Amino acid sequence: MNEAALQPQPLEPLLRQTEQQLSALLASVYQRATRQSPAAQLPLPLIDDPLIAQQIFKQPELFGKNYAFLEAFAEGRFSRNGNEWQTRQQLTQSFYSRAVDLKKPQNVFEIYCRHLQALDIHSDAASLAQRLYNAFLAAATEVVLRAFGISESIGWSPAFTNRVLDLLKLRQLLSWAPQLSEYLPVTNQLLAKALVLAEQRFNRSSEARGFLNGLALRAQPCPHFRPAAELAQNLLAATETTASSLSWCVELLSKSPDWQSRLRASDDPSSMDFSGFVQELLRLYPPVPFVSRMTLADTQLGAAHLRAGQGLIVSVLGLHTHPDYWREPMCFNPERHEFNGGRFDHNAYVPFLTGLRSCAGRKLGKLEIEQGLRALLCCFDMQQPAGPSRLAYVTTSRPQLSESLRFSWR
């Protein structure tokens, strides 16, 4: 079985419809963030008040993650709740933490440079956009696997990742669209096949087998634990977010030669220009612009009484653009005064979320964005006309790169 078996022809029209609907959903979240005009109806109630959001993030025992679409592919720490989440969290957290402590930033920079230098920048615009995203995915995959002690190739390629993401975005839409339920069984079957394929490839690598066996030994308290599913979910979550953030770097810098020059001049992630750019990138274009939660018991949230099983959407973008906390919140400004001296309210800036369920790999992810950005600026000059960005959404936010985008080697 190969990737081609994961995308049968009958689903092609629905996949195109899914891309349009999920991109429209993201556009609606951005429209709501302006707080100036009515926006399209969302599938669940939306929370964009920082203080109410903090109540949700800091009470995971009451507000659980609600990612049935992701679990149709693989169960893991990012989607489980309660005691099972705690067990799974302990299995992998040390790898992320140790990677930040032991991995030299220059090593990450060199990995991204190597993948970007293999890019064919003279292909047509559509191919260039996909090849660029794939280069980011491949570099992020190598970094994360090395954090897990796996230096061998295990078949988790950008092509495989993109196949799985296509199925996941379809599964996500189906969870909100009961009128399309006829497509649910075949989509679930294909996602199950994808995990089997991933497991077969993992087991061809002695290092990956050792990693999976170690997880299995330590996961005995966790019912129905499948080590390959845990690794697959970690890989998916830790690579797509980074690749999407670096795609936003391309989108923004290609429209601003001045910022390309400024960042090259500093070439230091700790500098004011560099840190300001990355912070503002994660504020206005967070890779996860909204998250889904579900009440696990009857509870009170602000003035509202919620029954168990109520679904909610927390708009990370809405928190990052709340006018009570940010001046000109919809304007991309790396020199934003709120970031100067840490004046911003941390309740209104949560690109990696907050509380016990915050992003496990936030430090490693931030390191990758910084070093991937350095590599991008080292390899290329980027250019396209200024103008509004077009939004795309899979399970993260990314730009639809323009046909006018041009790269040249430095």
Q: Is residue 163 part of a domain?
A: yes
Q: Which of 2-11, 345-354, 388-397 has the lowest mean pLDDT?
A: 2-11
- Give the Cα separation of 396 and 208 in Å (integer): 27
Percentage above 90 pLDDT, the chain:
62
pLDDT in tens, 136-155: 999 999 999 999 999 999 99
Given a cut of 70, whether residue 19 has pLDDT beyond it is: yes
Helix (H, G, I), strand (E, B) or coil at 291: strand
Model confidence pLDDT, tens digit, residues 364-390 = 999 999 999 999 999 999 999 888 899
CATH number at 380 reads 1.10.630.10
Residue 219 located in a structural domain: yes
Total number of domains in the chain: 1
* Residue type, position 267, single letter: D
Task: Give this prediction's pTM.
Answer: 0.94
Q: How far is the CA of 373 from the CAs of 122, 123, 270, 335, in angstroms?
A: 21, 22, 13, 18
In a domain, 292, yes or no: no
Lowest average pLDDT, out of 123-127, 174-178, 295-299, goes to 123-127
Burial (CB < 10 A; 0-12, 13-18, 19+), residue 275, is middle
Q: Can you read off the two tokens belonging to residue 128?
A: 């260039």
156 found inside a domain: yes
Q: pLDDT tens digit string along 320-340?
A: 999 999 999 999 999 999 998
**Residue 131 reports pLDDT greater than 70:** yes
Per-residue pLDDT tens digits for 167-177: 999 998 888 88
Is 336 within a domain?
A: no
Residue 23 has a pLDDT of 86
Res. 224: pLDDT tops 90:
no
The pLDDT score that the predictor gives to residue 359 is 87
Contact 311, 67 (CB under 8 A): no
Q: Of how many residues is the chain composed?
A: 410
Three-state DSSP at 325 gives: coil
Residue found by looking up tokens 């995990």 in the block: 195
Rounded average pLDDT over 273-293: 95
The pLDDT of residue 50 is above 80: yes
Q: How many Cα atoms occupy the beta-carbon half-sphere of 3 within 13 Å?
A: 12
Burial of 71 (0-12, 13-18, 19+ CB in 10 A): middle
Q: For all residues of the chain together, what is the average pLDDT?
A: 90
In a domain? residue 340: no
pLDDT of residue 281 exceeding 90, the answer is yes
Q: Helices 184-202 and 158-176: crossing angle, nearest 10°? A: 150
| CA 335 – CA 333 distance, rounded (Å) | 5
pLDDT in the model for residue 358? 86
Domain span holding position 30: 3-41+69-270+361-400
Which range is most confident: 9-13, 30-34, 183-187, 326-330?
A: 326-330
Output the pLDDT for position 215.
Answer: 92
pLDDT the model gives residue 8:
60
Task: Indicate whether 150 belongs to any domain.
Answer: yes
Decide if 312 contacts 294 (C-beta within 8 A).
yes
Ranked by mean pLDDT, the top range of 21-35, 86-100, 121-135, 285-299 is 285-299
How far, in Å, CA of 109 to CA of 39, rounded? 41
Token pair for 253: 């810098």
On whether residue 321 sits in a domain, the answer given is no
